[in-house]
Structure 1
Amino acid sequence: MTTLQTTLLVLQVFIALGLIAIILVQHGKGADAGAAFGSGASNTVFGSQGSGNFLTKMTTLLAVVFLVNSLTLGYLAANTAETVSLMEQHAAEQAEQERAADEQGTASGGDDDMPAIPQQ
């Protein structure tokens, strides 16, 4: 995985955690009924209007960044060159060595771990 993909993947996790936190902090529609009867909404950190507008904008911003990041990760994953596994790479190297040995005429014709059986 390239450095860009790793960075975007870590960013994706942080964006997802931020979205979860912001969504859980928001109050539901039923909470507005209590605010109408003076439940202390004027003492909030965000002022008398409450935190709804700020949290809604932050949720929208994080959702857009999450979507763009997801599309970018998908594009990078689809357009990266396929990597060869170590097993396939080792098998290809062995095949190349055997082919080179056959061309030189030094191939034993069998497994390299077994000694040659003497001919009588």
Structure 2
Amino acid sequence: MSNVVITIILAVQMLSALAMIVLILVQHGKGADMGAAFGGGSSGSLFGASGSANFLSRTTAVLATVFFVCTLALAYFGNLRPASTGSVLQGSSVVPAGTASEVPVAPTLPASGAAQIPAK
């Protein structure tokens, strides 16, 4: 059940990210409005003179909110750990449970020849 929810949230996050990219690239900058105000461009567009800026910016804000909510939900579901019955690290460690307590010992080097020379 949890994997289905995570997959749905991930799909919604990816779709909102792609839609945000498209909407941000479609929007005009601040300098483009000055040219349209002085007759340099066609201000009679589909949404009107300033209607497209309001519509696109509000839609981008809604998509950004959906994206951040999906990100928080994925972070929440990513930190959930199932209740374990055995080891503390069961299912969440690469190291098997039996070998976690074994500490490797460094091999001892044989005594060098300098240690065998008597001091005066």
Q: TM-score, normalised by structure 1?
A: 0.64
- Tell me what 1:31 maps to: 32
Query: What secondary structure is seen at the aligned counterpart in 1 of 2:75?
Result: helix
Calculate the aligned-residue CA RMSD, in Å.
2.5
CA distance in 1, matches of 2:58, 2:78: 30
- Tell me what 1:41 maps to: 43
| Structure 1 unaligned regions, length at least 5 | 96-120
CA distance in 1, matches of 2:33, 2:74: 39
CA distance in 1, matches of 2:63, 2:14: 12
- Tell me what 2:53 maps to: 52
Query: What secondary structure is seen at the aligned counterpart in 1 of 2:49?
Result: coil
Work out which structure has the larger RCO, using CA pairs closer than 8 Å and 6 or more positions apart in sequence.
2
Q: How does 1:1-120 map to 2 (within 5 A)?
A: 2-38=3-39, 39-42=41-44, 44-81=45-82, 84=91
1:30-85 Cα deviation digits (max 9, x unpaired)? 1011111122112x111232410000100110111111111011001101428839
| Structure 2 unaligned regions, length at least 5 | 85-89, 99-120
Q: TM-score, normalised by structure 2?
A: 0.64
CA distance in 2, matches of 1:24, 1:59: 11
Count matched residues.
89
- Taking only the aligned residue pairs, the percentage that are identical comes to 44
CA distance in 2, matches of 1:49, 1:74: 38
